[in-house]
Structure 1
Amino acid sequence: MLTPKQQKAVLISTILASSMAFIDSTALNVALPALQEDLNMSGSSLLWVVNGYALFLSALLLIGGSLGDQYGRKRVFLTGITVFTISSALCGLSTSPLMLIISRCIQGIGGALMVPGSLAIISALFGKEKRGWAIGTWSMFSAMTTVFGPVIGGWLAGQGLWRMVFFINIPLAIISAFFLIRDVPETERLTQKKLDLAGALLAILALGGITYGFIEAPNSGFSHPTILIALMGGGILFLAFLAHEHQAKQPMMPLPLFQSKVFTGANLITLFVYGALGGFLFFFPLNLIQVQGYPAELAGLTLLPFGLLIAFLSRWSGALADKIGTRIPLIIGPMFTASGFFIFSLPGITAGPSSFWNTFLPPMLLLGIGMGITVAPLTTAVMNAVPYERTGTASGVNNTVARTAGVLAIAIMGALGLFRFEESLTWRIAHLELNSTALMQLKKEVVRLAEAQPPEAATKEQQKVVEKAIKFAFIDTFKQSALIASILSGISVFIAYFTIPGRKKQKIK
């Protein structure tokens, strides 16, 4: 039985540690333009900054939870905090794209040890009479950090302090670790559970190969042997992962769960909806800051309505799902998100922040309403599709699917975006008849997307045309990403229609 002092310590340590992960994942996107300019990064490098972290986090998330069960949740949680904090410091100190990418990969490993531990510690240490209150408190603060993460990131980037997005983790980690070490007891170890290290390795290699193939394809072409090997190898390793999980006695992702049509459908909806969101949110801040002329501070604020709507609507939609079932919310929610993404694809170059109210705010509201309606019922559908004793595993699998969706979407939509940008820019400057030196210079700049600079070898008049063409080419890229996101969300509507039963047919196992 925890004392009141220990209860406070558990909540402080888990909330602060989770806040590091939530702030990092939401604030970084708004800071991407600033770090791209500071470190002179290409579009591919930007994709790796986001995906390096997400790749290791998604591939190791289930292993992180199993490590906590076997070696003690407090010990593994503290290890995760330590790794995450050291890598955060390295991210903030990075002087090159490669150093930042490697540091982000290490940060993903720390996140995989830390993220599953927060709720696991709360669930293990709080009794049934207090557990709901504790989880609710944790969820409230998690929602707040998710909502205000982009605002924090935008403000820091606007002040030229993008490195503080990473350094801010250090004091949070020190306070979290202090309360964890001083007041939080260790949880019971479940030593009978073996680690599926082979599955984790196959997952990293498969996801890494596919991610590498798509991100680097714009630089080398899909026909390049390295790209072909990466994509084919990733696909083969994914099949090997499935075969291994099917045969393993204690797999990290139990495949029999997917025998449930509802569980499979809910995870497919997760894959498409979160994939659409992850891919879109990579391009959106770049569009606002580098093309539309928004200050980074305002770019962060534009995402505030989205986060607030999710926070306010999730509780209502969860209660609604309890009354009418999950089918209707999971059809209507993605309809709103698909509509929002589609409307995002309509504006060209706008008048800047003054036109936000009639250009980007309406689709942002639709997107927030759609996700607010979708998130809680989607979790409910996953939980209701499996027996009670498998809900922890089901939750972990669904969380992994959501993270993996972001990795794949950013890699694929990023690659398609780089191809689209080069194609559009080439078409828009075809009439200029640039000399060979100018063309060579521009070829090198294309990989930087909207941050590309006109070639020095071109005339002043040509440079002005190229500068304008770069902005319009990125608008074409952004529109493509919004349309792809809209299609993915639309597919989710049909998945929900065919796999999620109505209230009368939906049984809680």
Structure 2
Amino acid sequence: MTDAFTPAQRLTLTVAVLASFVSFLDGTIVNVALPAISTELGGGLTTQQWVVDAYLITLGALILVAGSASDAFGRLLVMRIGLVGFGVASVAIALAPDPVFLIVARAVQGAAAAFLVPSSLALITSTFRDAAQSRAIGIWTAMTTAAMLVGPLLGGALIDLASWRWAFLINVVPIAGTLALIPRTGLRDVRTPDAAVDVLGAVVCTLGLGATVFALIEQPNLGWAHPAVWGSLLGGIALLAVFLARQRRVRAPMLPLSLFRVRNFSAGNLATLFIYAALSLVMLVLTVYLQQTQGFSATLAGLASLPATVLVAMLSSRAGALAGRYGPRVFMTAGPLIMAGGLLLLLTVGEPFSYWWQVLPGMLVFGVGLAATVSPLTSTILGAIGPERAGTASAVNNAISRIAGLLAVAALAFIVGGALDLEGLHRAVIACVLLLVAGGVTSWFGIRMPVTSPGA
């Protein structure tokens, strides 16, 4: 991957990228499959929301405990468990006979995915040092972000050529390859004797997120006055408050609140919340809109995000290097604002529809902004915390990015007005623009130039 890495390091980085790749890929590959799933299994917009959010609920909650599990049981063992669980759940999804079975299988898949990202980054932080570590994180960030964007393209091709079920079954291929490569790295598990896993905290967090999301998704169907809606919302908020209170007292917290006293870490994660909520929402809305309203095939709908994918793959590493030289603040401010400018161009979408003039320009500008954002954002958040806590910092940041997408998708029906038609698309675009502006403003006022040693 680069001449500065040893062969062993290159192999380790390959394993880390592949293990995370399936998690990020599946997070967006589902977007292009939603219309086909809804057509075959039924359920409309509500089922589509649950197919996305069932995965994000367990992923967002359990990714926080994955760091502790890696310390307690060994990162390689945790990675293997995550890969096998993800593969089994993918096969179950491909065989799903009805929406309920599918949603449960997606929740199991999200739980397995939670153990992949932190263990992958832990491999990098324990294998690479100094400048090589920064480059490795930059490559990992570029590849996993590209996986998020290439998901709709790959899924679309599989759906058109075969079935939406193959969009999930294909996960077995990279999983098998990763499991075969792990023994060749020569790495051995290291376990921390006094490490503990906060099982109760994980349960409370999962239930809190689930109840909150249930209220947001079902509110358009039942109304705020329905006891199941307001009761779930209040109960979910109460459980999340209990979870935060527990994190102050428990010996091995899933979410160490002390990390948020570090300015760049707290500001970077707040910016992550805004930016990734917008990213998750716009990619879902655009993909479904192109299929359900404009009649695009799944492959063509997936191709809509290809320009942004190419730009992220080409420019992310360079943006990370420039941010390391000149500081991340400008990149983390300008990037989201450029993304917002790209999305504003989507307000030109109308009848007669033209992808080339109404969608492509916005996707190109959006891709440039995203490439300028992702690597500096990740490096800044991880760099704000010492290497001994990099795994925990990464788990927190990934959890926040997934929870951001979870809440954005849960509020989808409210944002678009109940239907993903032209008006709904425009409403979603405006919401995403506001989120991205908030992310840029947060970065400008919150991020400070990292302190480096004279020899760095």
Encode CA deviations 1:178-219: one digit per residue, 9 max, x unaligned: 333576543111121211222212211111111110001111
Question: Match for residue 358 of structure 1?
Answer: 357
Question: Match for residue 406 of structure 1?
Answer: 405
- Inter-partner Cα distance in structure 1 for 2:143 and 2:284: 24
Cα deviation, residue 475, structure 1: 1.2
Cα deviation, residue 149, structure 1: 2.3
Question: Match for residue 484 of structure 1?
Answer: 431
Encode CA deviations 1:373-426: one digit per residue, 9 max, x unaligned: 111221233234334433332222111111111111111133433xx13xxxxx
What does residue range 56-455 of structure 1 map to in structure 2 within 5 Å?
56-124=58-126, 141-142=143-144, 145-180=147-182, 184-351=186-353, 355-417=354-416, 420-421=417-418, 449=419
- SS of the equivalent of 2:114 reads helix
- SS of the equivalent of 1:59 reads helix
Query: Using a 3 Å threshold, how does the CA distance of structure 1 residues 192 and 101 change in structure 2: closer, same or farther?
Result: same
- Inter-partner Cα distance in structure 1 for 2:285 and 2:131: 44
Q: Quick check: 2:264–2:446 contact (8 Å CA) kept in 1?
A: yes
Cα deviation, residue 50, structure 1: 0.6
Cα deviation, residue 115, structure 1: 2.6
User: Which amino acid in structure 2 is aligned with residue 324 of structure 1?
Assistant: Y
Cα deviation, residue 305, structure 1: 0.8
- Inter-partner Cα distance in structure 2 for 1:269 and 1:12: 29
Cα deviation, residue 160, structure 1: 4.2
Q: Quick check: 2:212–2:233 contact (8 Å CA) kept in 1?
A: yes
Q: Whose Rg is larger? A: 1
Q: Quick check: 1:64–1:116 contact (8 Å CA) kept in 2?
A: yes
Cα deviation, residue 479, structure 1: 1.1
- Inter-partner Cα distance in structure 2 for 1:19 and 1:115: 9
Q: Quick check: 1:349–1:475 contact (8 Å CA) kept in 2?
A: no
Higher relative contact order (CA 8 A, sep 6+): 2
User: Which amino acid in structure 2 is aligned with residue 409 of structure 1?
Assistant: A
Query: Using a 3 Å threshold, how does the CA distance of structure 1 residues 275 and 141 change in structure 2: closer, same or farther?
Result: closer
Query: Using a 3 Å threshold, how does the CA distance of structure 1 residues 73 and 31 change in structure 2: closer, same or farther?
Result: same
Query: Using a 3 Å threshold, how does the CA distance of structure 1 residues 385 and 318 change in structure 2: closer, same or farther?
Result: same
Encode CA deviations 1:277-329: one digit per residue, 9 max, x unaligned: 11122211111111112222111111011112122222222222223222222
Query: Using a 3 Å threshold, how does the CA distance of structure 1 residues 388 and 112 change in structure 2: closer, same or farther?
Result: closer
Q: Is 1:21 equivalent to 2:20 in the alignment?
A: no
Q: Quick check: 1:289–1:295 contact (8 Å CA) kept in 2?
A: yes
Question: Match for residue 443 of structure 1?
Answer: none
Question: Match for residue 36 of structure 1?
Answer: 38
- Inter-partner Cα distance in structure 2 for 1:339 and 1:143: 20
> What is the total number of aligned residue pairs between the two structures?
448
Q: Quick check: 1:69–1:190 contact (8 Å CA) kept in 2?
A: yes
- SS of the equivalent of 1:189 reads coil
Cα deviation, residue 46, structure 1: 0.5
Gaps of 5+ in 2: 1-5
- SS of the equivalent of 1:113 reads coil
RMSD: 2.5
Q: Quick check: 1:124–1:187 contact (8 Å CA) kept in 2?
A: no
Gaps of 5+ in 1: 422-448, 451-473
Cα deviation, residue 110, structure 1: 0.8
Cα deviation, residue 265, structure 1: 1.4
Query: Using a 3 Å threshold, how does the CA distance of structure 1 residues 487 and 358 change in structure 2: closer, same or farther?
Result: same
- Inter-partner Cα distance in structure 1 for 2:225 and 2:42: 28
Cα deviation, residue 170, structure 1: 2.0
